[in-house]
Structure 1
Amino acid sequence: MPKQNTANRALRAALFMDKGGVTKTTSTAHLGEALAREYGLNVLLIDLAGKQGDLSKQFGIHDEVRAAEDDAWPNISTVFAEEWSTIAEKVPDAVEDMIWETDENVDLIPAHEGLDSVDDDLASVNVEDRYTRLDEFLTNYVDPLGYDVVLLDLPGLTNNVTLNGLFATGRVIAPLTMGEFEERQLDQLVADIDEIVAGFDVDLELAMVLPSMYDKRANVDTEMLARLREQYPDRIAPSPITSSQGVPNAQAEGRTVFAVPNDELLATAKRVKDAYTDAATALLQRVDGETATASTETN
């Protein structure tokens, strides 16, 4: 776990698509690991995608997390409660106790079964406060821990938890499996982002399109990739994430492909590693560019 650095505000991004099965969790884990392993950054992943706990499965700690769940209070669902600040004040090391170290290079706040009720609970909160609670948690309790990067794995549907994640990060990374339906979903996501920005006056942008499960032998994939590069030239990841059996093989062992020795990796899985590393590099460059632009505009 990183040392505290109250001057540090983490780079935040949310991996989201209003659809399940688009490699959202896989991309959260691998992009986070690329940022940590290749750039030496302190990375925290937060699983908000539901009680199934896929991120903890990805890193092979699901059984331990599940065994501790009954005693895991406070937990990630608690931070959305109105009483959170009082809880955090009265419970020593409340946030630190939520964080699990993985056997790789990232830390994780795992999902909790209490997330199932958060959407309904937030529905009764006034609109002014409903979508700010995660941002307040990250700003007041996570940023002081000194993480360089915080990535959120959001639910595969737009609900109150999702909107909290979008408002808190301001950046959407959209994993996108190859297909006509998925391409339309991306168009809808862009429209939804525009609607959110207009309706709530918040800073929110599509930071990266991350084509996944790509097969260069399939004409439909190569044609779709060409369209995406034309439509999102400044936002598409440098390299598509190749479809590779090496990814589920590594997941079955509770690790990312970054943790698999090179001499055991399939050639396609090596391309997956390279593509996520390229995406990490592009994300950092784009954020640096945004910061420089904002500074120039301010001056």
Structure 2
Amino acid sequence: MDSTMRAAAFLDKGGVGKTTTVAHVGVALADEGYRVCLLDLAGKQGDLTKHFGLWQQAKESDDWPNITTVFQDEWDTIAEQLPDAVDQLIMPTGEGPDLIPAHEGLDGLESLLGSIDDPSERYARLDHFLTEYLDERYDVLLLDLPGSTSNIAYNGLWAARHVITPVRAGPFEQEQMAQLEADLDEIRAGQEIDITLALVLINEYDERQTIDRELFEQLNDDYGGVLAPEQIPSSQDITNAQQEGQTIFQLEQPSQTAQRALAAYRENARTLIDRAPALAKAETEPEAGQL
């Protein structure tokens, strides 16, 4: 790819499968030959890092620099003085993508970022890091964001510009989607940047269930242009693999539902590439004086 495609998994709700989606779409794209890096920004619990069985290793590694460091004023100076600073952030997953793991200090960034008066600077710090330090290394950057609106989430949305939204059938999914649209509209209006929904997909989809079919029909009516071509079926293999610190791409004998999920992830990953064109460098650079 001539430049880097970025996307962030986000919905102001936990437990919808954002982490699982980022992990599997990332591996699917790496299998297609893309250079992929995943960023675990969803908080100190480190779910994406745990998904690849790397949480303990990340905790035992040198505590500095880490993902929180890139949001601080001193990051550019640190990167200049430590030529391998970016390398120290990155861990190979063993499944194709690289990973920048979460850190326990992520939750403490809220107050730091909240103290920055200028929203253009407050929300552009991650974008600056990706533009200056990761874009030339990777074809695809996928961000796993917190399941709530926060300064970290806004940084991720600002930087990614393309949103992946997984949902699960339930009584409040339409309200959550409406809130997502409101959140994106607020960022678009307040920061004058274009953020688009690129992929909406249903996790644990069972077309035999009325509630699942109704959600699909509603999403198809409201978001037909961005609804994933394939929904992700419910499969115990996905949960079991995650508990083992891997994706279902690593299973030697996946069940039939896991095979359907694999095919769906592959197709959705290709669709994401088509819908979320790579950002030209000029589009992602902060304005002069922003940082």
Q: TM-score range by the shorter chain?
A: over 0.9
| Number of the residue aligned with 1:46 | 39
1:257 CA drift (Å):
0.5
Matches within 5 A, 1:60-75: 60-68=53-61, 71-75=62-66
Please report the RMSD computed on the Cα atoms of aligned residues, expressed in angstroms. 1.7
1:96 CA drift (Å):
1.1
CA contact (8 A) 2:3 2:135 kept: yes
Cα separation, 2, equivalents of 1:289 and 1:124: 32
| Number of the residue aligned with 2:187 | 196
1:210 CA drift (Å):
1.3
Match of 1:35 among 22, 29, 38: 29
Equivalent residue letter for 2:172:
F
Match of 2:244 among 227, 246, 253: 253
- Go from structure 1 to structure 2 and tell me whether the alpha carbon gap of 1:178 and 1:77 turns closer, same or farther (over 3 Å shift): same
Equivalent residue letter for 2:233:
T
Match of 1:87 among 74, 78, 86: 78
- TM-score w.r.t. the length of structure 1 is 0.90
Cα separation, 2, equivalents of 1:180 and 1:135: 35
- TM-score w.r.t. the length of structure 2 is 0.92
CA contact (8 A) 2:3 2:278 kept: no
Matches within 5 A, 1:151-230: 151-230=142-221
More off after superposition, 193-202 vs 102-111: 193-202
1:288 CA drift (Å):
4.7
CA contact (8 A) 1:175 1:212 kept: yes
| Number of the residue aligned with 1:284 | 273
Cα separation, 2, equivalents of 1:289 and 1:27: 20
Q: Does 1:100 align with 2:91?
A: yes
1:289 CA drift (Å):
10
Q: Secondary structure at the match of 1:77?
A: helix
Equivalent residue letter for 2:3:
R
CA contact (8 A) 1:8 1:143 kept: no
| Number of the residue aligned with 1:141 | 133
Cα separation, 2, equivalents of 1:201 and 1:73: 34
| Number of the residue aligned with 1:20 | 14
Cα separation, 2, equivalents of 1:290 and 1:161: 20
**CA displacement 1:47-104 (0-9 Å, x = unmatched):** 0001111112111122211211xx2311100100011111111112101111000111
CA contact (8 A) 2:91 2:98 kept: yes
* Structure 2 unmatched ranges of 5 or more: 284-291
Q: Give % identity.
A: 50
Q: Does 1:10 align with 2:4?
A: yes
Equivalent residue letter for 2:5:
L
